[in-house]
Amino acid sequence: MTVGESAGLGGVGCSPTRRRAYALLNGNADGDAASRLITGLVVCLIVLNVLAVILESNTYIYERFAPYFGVFEVFSVVVFTVEYFARLWIAPEYPKLKNLSGLKARLRYATKPMALIDLLAIAPFYLSLFFAIDLRYLRLFRLLRLIKLSHYFDGLSMFLTVLGREIGAIAGAILTLMVLIIISACLMFSLENTVQPGQFDSVAQAIWWSVVTLTTVGYGDIVPVTFLGKLVAMVIMLLGVCTMALPAGILAAKFTEELQSRREYMNMKVNDAFRDGILDAGEQADLSDLQARLNLPPEVFERLLASHLMARQHAKYCPHCGENLRLP
């Protein structure tokens, strides 16, 4: 970051403070007790917020402890508000935003999905101070705080990345499921309407049976009684088992593929850094940034470094070009 950019963000002296805040909030300060403490406290607060929403739905509990719920909500909003603006402040430290000016980096970060979720998690509270908001909708927005956990768990972030990349394949699987639902509902309505007009009164009512059957839930509140109806139902049940497994299989395969791809890319970068036989502070900082950007666990990065260090200890290298001088 240039001096001009640092000055525009609050002075040159603020840059180390902001970098420190970035490390603390993103939990990538290895071995840092303060980072682990902040992460643990915020995660606990998010879980307690979800628990509070669940308990408040019980009228007896809410009426008895309403003042405590109110105080806890105000405290939570204050903490999440501070966290939101802190993340806006440290936006220029994110690897993908480092090349932007302070204002552009913050605006770009503010439009990211996770930043919008952070905003929606606190905005209804402030709006409720000026406008009457239905408590049911307020609770719904408060549950968005659960998604904030993806800030602190790399697996959730990686899952969202894979979901975004494979949205086309998943949409295709969902479209296939929708077609099966409509076709099976129409078939069942044609076969069962005359025998059970109260159960299969319309295609719309048959859709309920179709969804319950294809998703293998099987409530049993609506069942076919004719021979052809039962035969079609058996086929639909088998198709449901196969169809419902498609999205899960796609996500599982792509998640594994994405993780392996990131590890291979990280391994290639570590190998490039060790090519000259020396891993200086700048290269290590770049690799640490890459590890954070790829959302790889710190232990994966440490194992890669350890394996390369061990390999270099058993080889002889040219001090000038770094090439392996040991004969195979």
Instruction: Report all structural domains of the chain as residue ranges with CATH numbers, in order of start.
Output: 3-152 (1.20.120.350), 168-244 (1.10.287.70)
- The amino acid that residue 227 corresponds to is F
pLDDT at 213 over 50: yes
- Using 50, 70 and 90 to split pLDDT, how confident is the model at 321? low
The pair of three-digit structure tokens given for residue 209, joined into one six-digit string: 């049976």
Q: Is 90 exposed, middle or buried (0-12, 13-18, 19+ CB in 10 A)?
A: buried
Instruction: Output the pLDDT for position 81.
Output: 93
The pLDDT assigned to 72 comes to 92
H or E, element range at 264:
helix 227-273
Distances 242 to 37, 220, 237 between C-alpha atoms, Å: 45, 21, 9
Q: Is the pLDDT confidence value at 148 over 60? A: yes
Residues with Cβ within 8 Å of 11's Cβ and at least 6 positions away in sequence, in order, are none
pLDDT band, residue 1 (cuts 50/70/90): very low
- Residue 82 confidence (pLDDT): 93
Q: What is the pLDDT of residue 6?
A: 40
The position carrying tokens 């899960």 is 248
Tens-place pLDDT, residues 274-300: 776 677 777 777 777 777 667 676 777
Task: State pTM to two decimals.
Answer: 0.61
Place of tokens 């790889």: 296
Express each pLDDT in 78-115 by its tens digit.
999 999 999 999 888 887 777 778 788 888 888 888 88
Residue 326 has pLDDT above 60, yes or no: no
Pair 181, 207: CB distance under 8 Å: yes
Tokens 């000016």, residue?
101
Residue 316 pLDDT: 55
Least confident of 90-99, 187-196, 238-247, 319-328: 319-328
Does the pLDDT value for residue 194 go beyond 70? yes
Q: Are 188 and 208 in contact (CB under 8 A)?
A: no
